[in-house]
Structure 1
Amino acid sequence: MKSFIVTVLALLLLAVGGKAFRSRLQPRVVNGRNANPGQFPYAVSLRYNNIHICGGSIISANYILTAAHCLTTEIDGEVFDTAARWLSIRAGSLHVGTGGVVVPISEYTKFPGYFANYGDIAVLRLAQSLNFTDQIRPINLTQTEPPNFVSIVAAGWGRLFEDGPRPEILQYTSMVSLSHNVCSILNPLVDESFLCLLPSRRNINGVCNGDSGGPAVYNDRLVGVANYISESCGAPHPDVFANVAHYANWIRQNSDLENADVTSSHSENVSSENSTTENGNLEV
């Protein structure tokens, strides 16, 4: 813990000058590892014209959770919504371009308060229901925020490093959750609707371009949706995620989860990471 506090203090020094985190995520998990079959059965590739643009998470047979900015396009300074007919997801495959099933998106709903970096979350309705298998399963939403300073797993098909190649196989990495107080010191624009994850002390890692919309998971529950980064990919600054606990009621009301038993686990036999201790704390 002492070394972690030193790391946080170093970040505070780097933050002098009040630079805000505003870089949109590009496709990547920096310094990640190849995922194993069935390790992230809820992770999907969100596609525009069958080209990977973002990540997403299966929350039911009919709905996917992702970031709202994945559904917009900026042209000459104006932001336009992407027509749902151009969107689809690939589920059930570790490979971004092959395998699994590809299902069209029929419609989507962005959080009504979405503006700039705020409210950056959306639900996608599938044109066809998914058939669950060992490789295709939903993940439960968290009902509470994760504890501070525990290991959180992020996954995606984003770039392997700044301006680097995009992986063919799903990548994952462990990060550390920060308290709102610490994160708001580093970035005054962050409020309780965000979840801040710090690169682990073992190596510089994190999310990047193409990881937007992808999952952050703690104890087999979805706690975050990848939103944006500070500085460059893999820089020693917190990456910013939408805080699923903050939006959980809205997500349920705008999907078919409203009447679901939120206490049951869809993936109780699926392990997303083996680098946490029994109580969820980061291993030394």
Structure 2
Amino acid sequence: MSFLLLTSLLTSMVSALPASTLANDTMTEIIWDTNSAIDIDSGPSPRDETGPAKEDLEPDNSIVGGYRARQGEFPTTISLRNFGAHVCGASLINSNTALTAAHCVDMGGSFSVAAGTNSWQFGGARSSVSQIIIHSGYVAETFDNDFAILKLTTRIPQTGLITYARLPPAGSDPDHNTPAVVAGCHVPRSTTTRAARSASARGSPEHCANLVFPSLFTENMICAGFPEGGRDVCNGDSGGPLYNLFTGETIGVVSWGRNGCAAPGNPGVYARVRRAISFIQFWSG
């Protein structure tokens, strides 16, 4: 895998909620072993029918306008593979746990991960995935609560090229327009990548929500983007981390977007890690 870097300013889609609400992450999750059949039909229902059709929402999957990262520059970012082929990014939480987007794994498969390498074909530490836990609040039609925990068969220790993700404290969020970076595991069609840096849209949370689908934007999401377009996550990056540039904390999981990748006025949408801290911590033991 090659890691591409995109720097942006984060525009957070967070409404003020009571502290009791913020702390109330559910503990009833959808769990399966990777060799088992998958049934998630009993999960939450789709949003109201006035929302966009499923085809109008696109999982954000490879960085457009990024640059090739140095070896070890993003040591928490790993590649998630299905039947040996890269499908999504993920973040290594500890030696046997990783965090990715639920939509990367909700159709099942034979999953494994690779850590500590910028080559999507060779090197690094490898492990199969023994168990997948999808957040019980996940809604496939709208990508709400787009979180999944991966339990690894083989423990992956920290090295000079591999470290574990830092998570934000429960109840904390970065300010609007906090600089953030995205690390993606893009499988390139050519051998070259390009670098780009720019500022994101500085609109209010309501303005940013209106750029996507207001009826679908929830307190479980944040967004970041560039008003002029040209730089965004896209195919192959889903599940990867959005980092707070100041603290290095993983504050988002690449989730979805609309109207194609890097289109003007269309920010990328990320699952908001702070909303899932208790879920992540519970299943990281």
Question: How high is the TM-score relative to the length of structure 1?
Answer: 0.72
Contact 2:66 2:196 in 1 (8 A): yes
Q: Distance in 1 between matches of 2:104 and 2:233?
A: 15
Judged with a 3 Å threshold, the aligned counterparts in structure 2 of structure 1 residues 177 and 61 are, in CA distance, closer, same or farther, namely farther
Q: Tell me, yes or no, if structure 1 residue 112 matches structure 2 residue 141.
A: no
Q: Tell me, yes or no, if structure 1 residue 39 matches structure 2 residue 73.
A: yes
Residue by residue over 1:109-166, the C-alpha shift from the partner in whole angstroms, topping out at 9 and shown as x without a partner, is 0001111211111110110111210111111111222211122100112366xxxx27
Residue 249 of structure 1, CA deviation: 1.4
Q: Tell me, yes or no, if structure 1 residue 25 matches structure 2 residue 52.
A: no
The 3-state SS of whatever aligns with 1:248 is: helix
Please, what is the CA RMSD of the aligned residues?
Answer: 2.6
Q: Equivalent residues in 2 for 1:8-157 (5 A)?
A: 22-26=57-61, 28-73=62-107, 82-83=108-109, 86-116=110-140, 117-143=143-169, 144-157=172-185
Q: Distance in 2 between matches of 1:171 and 1:155?
A: 13
Q: Tell me, yes or no, if structure 1 residue 158 matches structure 2 residue 186.
A: yes
Letter of the 1:198 counterpart: G
Q: Residue 207 of structure 2 aligns with which residue?
A: 182
Unaligned runs of 5+ in 2: 1-50
Contact 2:230 2:263 in 1 (8 A): yes
Equivalent in 201, 226, 234 of residue 208 of structure 1 = 234
Residue 174 of structure 1, CA deviation: 6.8
Q: Distance in 2 between matches of 1:102 and 1:175?
A: 36
* Greater RCO (Cα-Cα under 8 Å, separation 6 or more): 2
Residue 107 of structure 1, CA deviation: 0.3
Residue 170 of structure 1, CA deviation: 12
Equivalent in 220, 244, 254 of residue 226 of structure 1 = 254
Question: How high is the TM-score relative to the length of structure 2?
Answer: 0.72
Judged with a 3 Å threshold, the aligned counterparts in structure 2 of structure 1 residues 251 and 60 are, in CA distance, closer, same or farther, namely same
Residue 181 of structure 1, CA deviation: 2.4
Unaligned runs of 5+ in 1: 1-17, 74-81, 257-284
Residue 205 of structure 1, CA deviation: 0.3
Q: Report the more deviating stretch, 103-112 or 148-157.
A: 148-157
Judged with a 3 Å threshold, the aligned counterparts in structure 2 of structure 1 residues 37 and 105 are, in CA distance, closer, same or farther, namely same
Aligned residues: 223
